[in-house]
Amino acid sequence: MTHHPRPEATALDLSWVHATTINRSAVERRCTSHVARRSVKQDYQLAWLLRAITCIDLTTLAGDDTVGTVQRLCAKARQPVRHDLLDALGMTTQTIHVGAVCVYHEMVSTAVAALAGSGIPVAAVSTGFPAGLSPFETRVREIELSVAAGANEIDIVISRRHVLEGNWQALYDEIKTFRAACGDAHMKTILATGDMGTLTDVARTSLVCMMAGADVIKTSTGKEPTNATLPVSLVMLRAIREFHQRTGQIVGFKPAGGIRTAKQALDWLLLVDDELGREWLDASRFRFGASALLGDIERQLEHGITGRYSAANRHAQQ
């Protein structure tokens, strides 16, 4: 996996943070019109769905995860689409695999072994995921242990209380410390937007995370009552765009939680295309956090080829 050049931490600019406000009604109107007017059809849709597969962080974060569960997930990550479907699409000679496999720390070594030689990164959720309320030293050590076990990417969670209290300096310092603990591993910073009160909170948090050196900003843990939504994503994408325009630095984006269908995946891909441009539609800059999405995409690919929907159990992920 080739990543974009890593962003460097910049000074915390509180004047920029405080000057940022969001008009919720305008954001919601933009998202409603986006879903109504943007679509892709037929062969173009199949191509976009193949691109979506390459941007999936195939995830298992369950209490009953076993070595076998993770090994099966990694096998699916290596070969996410059946060979006969790739043959029909003329993609036999192309390498199609997911963007990463995401697991708890306990399963990092299993995933690293199962993905050896594939070029697929292993991502570990860390820092007291999903609540982020374990002792600070424990959260930092968790990052270090996952990196030592072979994780290429670390998905950290922020302390939401810093956002709710408007303590931007504390949030900035926390993320800078997490980034240092990641070393060469890329850091995806989870905002947990479902725990925030307003879209202005989302925008300001996005800016602070990027100033502190986040490689990627991510909507959700997938465990909040509300996870990835188009309005939240639009706010985060525009924060990324503004940060890039002001600093020249590239920060990636990851919506996570609740994205289960191919249609939803296309909505997000097209939104990223509109707001950031085609160059952002690459696994080095964009990921989906998903556990159920891949099966529906494969069903849609088969429908596009054969004109018939197959049973969902023909496309199990694990």
pLDDT given at position 313: 62
Structure tokens at 294: 């891949």
At residue 3, does pLDDT exceed 80?
Answer: no
Domain membership flag for residue 3: no
Q: Where are the beta strands (DSSP E) in the chain?
A: 56-59, 100-103, 122-125, 153-157, 186-190, 216-218, 252-254, 288-290
How far is residue 300's CA from residue 184's CA, in Å, rounded to a whole number? Answer: 37
Domain membership flag for residue 29: yes
In this prediction, residues 216-231 reach a mean pLDDT of: 95
Helix 199-211 crosses helix 230-247 at what angle (to 10 degrees)?
Answer: 40
Domain membership flag for residue 127: yes
Domain membership flag for residue 27: yes
**Tens of pLDDT along 51-93?**
999 999 999 999 999 999 999 999 999 999 999 999 998 887 7
At residue 318, does pLDDT exceed 60?
Answer: no
What's the structural domain count of the chain? 1
Q: Which active-site residues does the annotation give?
A: 155, 218, 254
At residue 94, does pLDDT exceed 70?
Answer: yes
Structure tokens at 150: 């072979």
- Domain residue limits at 159: 14-315
pLDDT given at position 162: 98
Query: Of 26-30, 39-43, 235-239, where does mean pLDDT reach its minimum?
Result: 39-43
Domain membership flag for residue 89: yes
* 181-200 CB burial, b ≥16 within 10 A, e <16: bbeebbbbbbbbbbbbeebe
Q: Where are the beta strands (DSSP E) in 126-228?
A: 153-157, 186-190, 216-218
Domain membership flag for residue 8: no
Residue the block writes with tokens 């890593």: 6
Domain membership flag for residue 88: yes
How far is residue 76's CA from residue 79's CA, in Å, rounded to a whole number? Answer: 5
**Tens of pLDDT along 148-157?**
999 999 999 9
**175: CB partners within 8 A, 6+ apart:** 156, 158, 189, 208, 209, 212, 213, 214
Percent of the chain at pLDDT > 90 equals 85
32 φ/ψ angles, rounded to the nearest 5 degrees: -65, -45
Domain membership flag for residue 1: no
pTM score, whole prediction? 0.94
256 φ/ψ angles, rounded to the nearest 5 degrees: -145, 145
CATH code for the domain in which residue 81 is found: 3.20.20.70
Confidence of residue 44 (pLDDT cuts 50, 70, 90): confident
Confidence of residue 311 (pLDDT cuts 50, 70, 90): low
In this prediction, residues 253-280 reach a mean pLDDT of: 95
